[in-house]
């Protein structure tokens, strides 16, 4: 166990180092101390980008785990529950109504909109016929589509399609020092979730069991909702939507080590960071000197993994 954890951490660090070294400007990380320009590229662009990818990946993966335990369904993620689209809607509203407002106002608006959207999703799935496990993700995908079409339409009317295009497809090429720091808040929110890990694990055992163990299901639900919404809103505003990451990473980790979240959440976070870093590096290398947005790569990869998960024979029954 220890050994595997160490190996995982080493892999994550290696990916981060590679991420520091890859990019349009040819630099060598080792020369940074002696060469001022190299240092500048490193500190202003590469390091912020690497940190931004790692933070976004970790936070999204954790919020995926949370939303999955809130709705007790493995086939959902923050990008298939209307959360990200609602965040974009909130952001759009502020951009239109009060274009001059500072960034934190936009964040707060996006977070509240994301919360409302996720709550709407939960209301919808509560009314679905029980036992139809697959209906939950379908409803989420359709809800995301409907909200997304509202966003596109409003943006089109207000001539803001370009902005929205940036929010809708996640990429890290624009990340520089001073433009990603809010992602630390997302990372913090995900860390906070770890404090409540046991509560989320118990909640996913069912309302009956949770109440029987003296848990206030409503307050755990609210807590989870806030974390998921804040993470989604921050990621959407800073780098744009990243599809499937929050869905597939928790599934894969649960497959290997189960759902005891206190033990597995750190692994989920590290795996999310690692996967997103790997995709981002691939995106930078594939058509260099151009870049492929990470959301395009994850769209293909994530959809394929999802299909495998969907048809994998369940371990029992």
Residues 6+ positions from 258 with CB-CB distance below 8 Å? 264
Distance CA 304, CA 126 (A): 28
The number of C-alpha atoms within 13 Å of 23 and in the hemisphere containing its C-beta is 24
Q: Shortest approach of other proteins to residue 310 CB, angstroms?
A: 6
Q: Shortest approach of other proteins to residue 128 CB, angstroms?
A: 6
Q: CB nearer to other proteins: give 18 or 124.
A: 124
Q: CB nearer to other proteins: give 44 or 207.
A: 207
Distance CA 259, CA 204 (A): 9
Residue with structure tokens 């999204």? 60
Distance CA 129, CA 136 (A): 10
Sign for the pseudo-dihedral over CA of 189, 190, 195, 201: positive
Q: CB nearer to other proteins: give 49 or 74.
A: 74
Footprint on this chain of other proteins (rule: CB under 8 A) = 69, 72-75, 124, 127-129, 132-135, 137-139, 141-143, 145-146, 149-150, 152-153, 156, 198-199, 201-202, 204-209, 211-216, 243, 254-255, 258-260, 262, 286-287, 290, 292-293, 296-297, 299-300, 303-304, 306-307, 310-311, 314-317
Q: CB nearer to other proteins: give 33 or 316.
A: 316
Q: Shortest approach of other proteins to residue 114 CB, angstroms?
A: 19
Q: How many CB atoms lie within 10 A of CB 9?
A: 13
Q: Shortest approach of other proteins to residue 44 CB, angstroms?
A: 26
Q: Shortest approach of other proteins to residue 149 CB, angstroms?
A: 5
CA 276-105-232 angle, 5° bins: 25
8 A C-beta contact, residue 137 and residue 76 = yes
Residue positions counted in the chain: 317
Distance CA 110, CA 88 (A): 7
Element (DSSP H or E) covering residue 259: none
Q: CB nearer to other proteins: give 105 or 304.
A: 304
Q: CB nearer to other proteins: give 95 or 217.
A: 217
Q: Shortest approach of other proteins to residue 112 CB, angstroms?
A: 22
Q: Shortest approach of other proteins to residue 226 CB, angstroms?
A: 19
Q: CB nearer to other proteins: give 14 or 142.
A: 142
């Amino acid at each position: 166990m220890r050994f595997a954890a160490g190996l995982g951490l080493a892999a994550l660090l290696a990916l981060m180092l590679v991420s520091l070294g890859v990019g349009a400007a040819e630099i060598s990380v080792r020369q940074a101390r002696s060469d001022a320009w190299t240092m500048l590229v490193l500190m202003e662009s590469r390091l912020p980008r690497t940190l931004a990818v790692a933070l976004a990946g970790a936070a999204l993966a954790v919020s995926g785990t949370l939303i999955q335990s809130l709705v007790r369904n493995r086939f959902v993620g923050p990008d298939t529950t209307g959360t990200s689209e609602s965040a974009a809607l909130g952001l759009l509203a502020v951009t239109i109504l009060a274009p001059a407002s500072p960034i934190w106002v936009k964040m707060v608006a996006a977070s509240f909109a994301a919360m409302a959207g996720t709550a709407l999703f939960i209301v919808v799935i509560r009314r679905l016929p029980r036992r139809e496990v697959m209906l939950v993700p379908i409803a989420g995908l359709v809800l995301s589509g409907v909200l997304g079409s509202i966003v596109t339409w409003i943006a089109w009317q207000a001539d803001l399609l370009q902005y929205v295009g940036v929010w809708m497809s996640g990429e890290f090429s624009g990340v520089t020092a001073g433009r990603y720091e809010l992602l630390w808040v997302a990372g913090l929110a995900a860390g906070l979730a770890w404090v409540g890990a046991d509560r989320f694990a118990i909640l996913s055992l069912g309302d009956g069991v949770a109440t029987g163990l003296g848990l206030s299901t409503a307050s755990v639900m609210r807590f989870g909702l806030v974390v998921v919404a804040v993470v989604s809103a921050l990621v959407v505003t800073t780098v744009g939507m990243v599809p499937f990451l929050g869905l597939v990473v928790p599934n894969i980790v649960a497959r290997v080590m189960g759902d005891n979240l206190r033990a597995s959440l750190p692994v989920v976070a590290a795996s999310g960071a690692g996967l997103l870093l790997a995709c981002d590096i691939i995106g930078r290398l594939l058509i260099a000197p151009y870049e492929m947005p990470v959301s395009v790569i994850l769209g293909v990869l994530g959809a394929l993994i999802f299909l495998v998960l969907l048809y994998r024979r369940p371990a029992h029954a």
